[in-house]
Every structure is written in structure tokens, then in C-alpha cells.
Amino acid sequence: MMGAKASLPPVFVLNSLDANVSVIDPEKWVELQRITTGKEPHHLYLTPDEKSVVIANALGDSLTFIDPKTAQVQRTVTGIVDPYHLRFSPDMKWFVTAANRLNHIDFYRWDGKDLTLVQRVPTAKTPSHLWIDSKSRTVYSTMQDSDELVAIDIATQKIKWRVKTGPMPADLYGSPDDKTLFIGLTGGKGVEVFDISSEQPARSVQIIPTGAGAHAFRGAGDGKHIYVSNRVANSISKIDMATRVAVESYAAPGGPDCMDVSADGRYIYVGARWARKLLVIDTHEKKVIQSVNVGKSPHGVWTLNHAKR
């Protein structure tokens, strides 16, 4: 049972090719139900007040809002074009989506309930993942098929600069001081590190070897370390953001993809993309301790009972 308290909020897993969400009991580690969504949900995100989990249905051109405690569907918002990846700005004023198949990034005003499209920014080929700095000034996005990193000014919704990256950049994670950006190279074997400390275009400073298919990130909860899933190598690496070194590695069979981390920081919940499973990894014992069958192509993973972002 891992010492879990009663009535923990569920773990949500997106099943991209089934167009639904698995709701997992984090005490018994069983699938409780599946919630139907729009076509091809890929990523999900908590609203700033943590009252809703927002499911981005890329081919459904919609968002599904779910209560993160009860797993009840709250509402569906239509007319959101190709929301592949999504992120709220820290100041809670902006909701940004990456249209992966249509090559643009959309800026929506967020008033705490409703979304209003303000600007659609054309980008390079296949915008993949998004990161927003802590001051809500800049959106960073990887370009999966043109091997680029793009920075967009939030105030003007215009591209500030673009730089080349390693092969097939995917998820990205910014350091707490907004000076460093880590990018998973799904077409490579590690994490590319960029200096973003000035107003000048980002500068690549090194590649941290982690494993083939470095893809998705999640903070470890201590403000010092991040995890990256190596989808081809079937592993997860723990990176020290200060020293820029991979300090630990955990086996994660079946194509590890998106992750979440338990509130105490001990357990990693990761979707095994090719094995149709949610894996629970104990970072103390350094092994998989639970495996839950879910749907086809499990992608995004999220829980309200998470480590500090």
C-alpha cells in the first residue's frame, strides 16, 4: 500500500488512441473507470486553482474539464483548434496551446473560467511542447520536425527568436531561476541544455547523456532535480539541474512517456506507451512496484496529489 492515506485523489492516464482517460485508484492500483474524451487526447494540465484537470483533445478540437478529486466531467469546451500541448502562465492570465499538426501556437485569455482566443502565431514545422517562464513573459516551444527552439513574447504574441536544436526536440523544462532550459531529444540520446539567461537568442551549452529517446520531464519536487523519460532506452533519468549531470537511472519498460510524481517525491507514475500500462516506480528501491493495465497509447499522466512543480 506504500503507506497511502485514505481517499487519495485518483491518477489520470490519457489513452490517446482510445480517446478516453483511465481513472486509477492510487491505493489499490486498479483502474476504476474510463472517461470518454474527444479524439486523440495527448496532454493534460491542472487549472491554476487546481479545481479542474484539462484534457487537450488534439483531433477533437476540444478541451474536457474533469474534477481532479471525483473524476466527474465538468464541461467540454469546443472550438479549440488542434490542442496537442497546453500550459497556463504562472500569472494565471494566459492559456497557451501548441497545434502540433497545423503548425501554430494559440494564445487564449483566461479569466478563471472562460477562454478567449487573442492570437494565433504561425511557427515552424510541428510545434511540440511548451514551457512558460516564471514571470509569464516568454513562451518557449520546441519544433519537433524542424529541430528548433522558438521563443514567443507573451505581451506582443510575436516570435522573439528561433535557434537550432538536436534531433526531434520534445518536452522542455526551465530551471527555477529562468536561466536554463532543458530539452529532451527524442531523436537523440540525451537532454540538450540551453542558456536563456539574457535577451539574446538561446545558446546551446551541452548535452546530458541520459538514454535513447529522451522525451518528457517532471520536477522531482525538491526544486533541484528533474526526471526525464527515455522512451527508446526504456529508462528514466534523474538530472541535477545545478551540475547538469544525470545522477540516477530507473528501469521503465514499455516505452516510458509522460510522468507525474507523488506528493512525497518518492514514487514516479509513468505511462508505458507501447505496453498499455501505468507503471509505479519506487525511487528508493529503484524498481517498478506496481503495473496497471490501461488503454491504447497511454500518454499524459496527472494527479492532484503531486510533488511541488
In angstroms, the CA 257 to CA 295 distance is 14
In this predicted structure, what is the pLDDT of residue 3? 41
In angstroms, the CA 70 to CA 223 distance is 29
Residues in the chain predicted with pLDDT less than 70, given as ranges, are: 1-6
In this predicted structure, what is the pLDDT of residue 222? 95
The answer to whether the CB of 21 falls within 8 A of the CB of 57 is no
In angstroms, the CA 264 to CA 288 distance is 17
The answer to whether the CB of 64 falls within 8 A of the CB of 50 is no
The answer to whether the CB of 98 falls within 8 A of the CB of 110 is no
In this predicted structure, what is the pLDDT of residue 103? 96
In this predicted structure, what is the pLDDT of residue 5? 43
In this predicted structure, what is the pLDDT of residue 4? 41
In angstroms, the CA 200 to CA 195 distance is 10
Residue 63, sorted as left (phi over 0), alpha (psi -120 to 50) or beta, turns out to be beta
In angstroms, the CA 24 to CA 258 distance is 15
Spatial CA neighbour of 259 closest among 240, 283, 223, 241: 283
In this predicted structure, what is the pLDDT of residue 49? 87
pTM of the model: 0.95
In angstroms, the CA 223 to CA 309 distance is 8
In this predicted structure, what is the pLDDT of residue 69? 96
In this predicted structure, what is the pLDDT of residue 22? 98
